[in-house]
Amino acid sequence: MEVNGSFTMSMVEEMITMPPRPVIDRDRTYLEVDGQRLPPGNYQITYGKEIKMNMVIVNEGDEGGWCRVLLVDELTGERLSEPYTWLNPGKSFPVAQYIKVERDLALKVYAQWSLDEETWNTTDEYG
């Protein structure tokens, strides 16, 4: 509704939407090393261990977009995994993965979004 050629505050608020905003669902995300579940934190994992990861992100934004779970070794910067999908608002994206550790790792998990599948923006971290 226009008032004297300008927008009312409620009209402006309705026009503002939040882009995709994937966040890590901390109730359903966990890392397990040799069968023992680890609490959230920074992990230094030694050679020879097996890691089971269950990661879930939820799009808490107002718009759909490409969302991914990025798993990085903080020691080397190597990307160990980066599965992604189109995620509508309120929907979740679960990812389960097993890794056999072949060298010491420092794991970090990121939730990211993109509109073009090239430029990624971090919205949440775990680990």
Structure tokens belonging to residue 59: 């799009």
Is residue 57 in some structural domain? yes
Is residue 89 in some structural domain? yes
Domain extent at residue 51: 17-115
Contact yes or no for 33/49 (Cβ under 8 A):
yes
**pLDDT digits 0-9 by tens, 100-118:** 888 888 888 899 999 899 9
Is residue 9 in some structural domain? no
Q: What is the CATH number of the domain that holds 44?
A: 2.60.40
Whole-model pTM over 0.75: yes
pLDDT over 90 at 48, yes or no: no
Structurally, the chain folds into a number of domains equal to 1
Is residue 40 in some structural domain? yes
Is residue 2 in some structural domain? no
C-alpha 57/C-alpha 126 separation (Å) is 11
Handedness of CA 55, 58, 63, 64 (dihedral sign): positive
Is residue 60 in some structural domain? yes
pLDDT over 60 at 2, yes or no: no
Looking at residue 7, what is its pLDDT?
54
**pLDDT digits 0-9 by tens, 50-103:** 888 899 999 999 999 999 999 888 889 999 889 999 999 999 999 998 888 888
Is residue 120 in some structural domain? no
C-alpha 92/C-alpha 61 separation (Å) is 12
Is residue 45 in some structural domain? yes
C-alpha 105/C-alpha 43 separation (Å) is 8
Looking at residue 124, what is its pLDDT?
94
